[in-house]
Amino acid sequence: MSKILAVNAGSSTLKWKLFSMPEETVIASGMVDRLNLPGSVFKVKLANGQKYEETQDNITNKLAAAMVLTRLKSYGILKHLSEITGVGHRIVAGGEVFKDSAVITPIVLKQIKELKDYAPLHNPVQAYYIEVFEQLLPEAHEVAVFDTSLYAQMPEVNYLYGIPYEYYEKFGARKYGAHGTSHRYVAHRTAELLGKPLEDLKLITLHLGSGSSVTAFKDGHALDTSMGFTPLAGVMMGTRSGDIDPSLVAYLAEKLDVTMPKMIDILNHKSGLLGVSELSPDQRDLEKTQDERPKSKLALDMFVNRVVRYVGSYTAELGGLDALVFTAGSGENGIAMRQAIADKLGYLGVTIDPEKNDFRGEERVVSPDSAPVKVMVVPTNEELMIVRDVVRLSR
């Protein structure tokens, strides 16, 4: 039995889970929110359900990592830090360099830093945490798990843009996708639940939440995905616009008299459900107000429309569809949203049984037994995929 830590670092948060392997049980989990800000919050949940929370101003990235380990000892979860034999780090951008997870070496760490242009808010801080945990846990085996690795080997026809080919060769201008660790877990888990090899399934996974993406699987690999060079592309999301005509972006930048970086910030943080509804990026808020606020309903309808477009186009690419799988916040908990999407896809053989669909956050088949396409809900578990990769690459 070994203990492996999964680290998911963002620009202002540090999320983590400690697993006992090979049982794959969660010993403890938690997060540090509002890093480097007044009112930083440190939260821990133990396997027995006990919870701890403390607030402290300006918890730094390094202090956050140290607090995770010291609190695990003070709560009696660890006697010695050496009990943690592996650390898996979620890394957003691996470019074309990393087509799989990788054992962290000085060269790998250097490459992660050099890929910062592909994820400027994430790769630098994630590389920093690698260095911090190397100092705090010098005997632990450290592994980098890349969100983009699932898509590194997509067909050229799907990852290239219709721009001069030399831009790809010189600057790496291509579709990289995102949410790959989530889609990878859900696809493999779906195959297990259906009792079939992933290689035999034509599958579409819907990661629907504040950030949303759609991925198509064929022959056991990702065939196509909705997010692009950055996570801004694809379906409309909580605050992201999704696909948009680049000429419109230039037009609006001129009309608003803002720089292109400012325009990209608007498309990332002030658009999507929030921008259209003029109320909230949260689907739950919009569902509560859609009867009184036409813009709330419009935003929800547009979200459904964009997801349906991708499912339809990917089914055409796949040449059929065996299963459609919902995951992430809205996918796992959005009863009405799942139904609304399925209602638009009946022509593909997609249908949902309302009684089976009346639940949140569990693994279930929600389509009728006789339906030609299985419609399923599979809660994502990125951290489990991370620690599995640590075990796989530690042998």
The residues, ordered by sequence, that sit 6+ positions from 276 with a Cβ below 8 Å of its Cβ are 236, 295, 298, 299, 302
Are the beta carbons of 72 and 360 closer than 8 angstroms? no
Is 210 among the annotated ligand-binding positions?
Answer: yes
Compute the distance between CA of residue 358 and CA of residue 84 in angstroms, rounded to an integer: 40
Is 238 among the annotated ligand-binding positions?
Answer: no
- How many residues are present in the chain? 395
Element (H, E) at 363: none
The residues, ordered by sequence, that sit 6+ positions from 205 with a Cβ below 8 Å of its Cβ are 183, 186, 187, 190, 214, 215, 217, 325, 327
Catalytic-labelled residue, pool 147, 224, 322, 389: 147
Are the beta carbons of 305 and 338 closer than 8 angstroms? no
- Side by side, the strands of the sheet bearing 14-21 are 51-56, 40-46, 25-33, 14-21, 2-9, 84-91, 141-146, 102-103
Is 56 among the annotated ligand-binding positions?
Answer: no
Is 254 among the annotated ligand-binding positions?
Answer: no
Peptide bond into 22 cis (omega under 30): yes
Residue with tokens 């592909």: 118
How many Cβ atoms sit within 10 Å of the Cβ of residue 22? 12
- Name the nearest CA neighbour of 92 among 122, 131, 59: 122
Are the beta carbons of 202 and 217 closer than 8 angstroms? yes
Please name the residue ranges forming H helices in 4-137. Answer: 61-74, 106-114, 123-136
Is 257 among the annotated ligand-binding positions?
Answer: no
Is 71 among the annotated ligand-binding positions?
Answer: no
**Any catalytic annotation for residue 147?**
yes
Is 329 among the annotated ligand-binding positions?
Answer: no
Is 207 among the annotated ligand-binding positions?
Answer: yes
Which residues are documented as binding site for ATP?
Answer: 15, 207-211, 282-284
Which residues are documented as binding site for Mg(2+)?
Answer: 8, 382
By annotation, the residues acting in catalysis are 147
Which residues are documented as binding site for substrate?
Answer: 90
Which residues are documented as binding site?
Answer: 8, 15, 90, 207-211, 282-284, 382
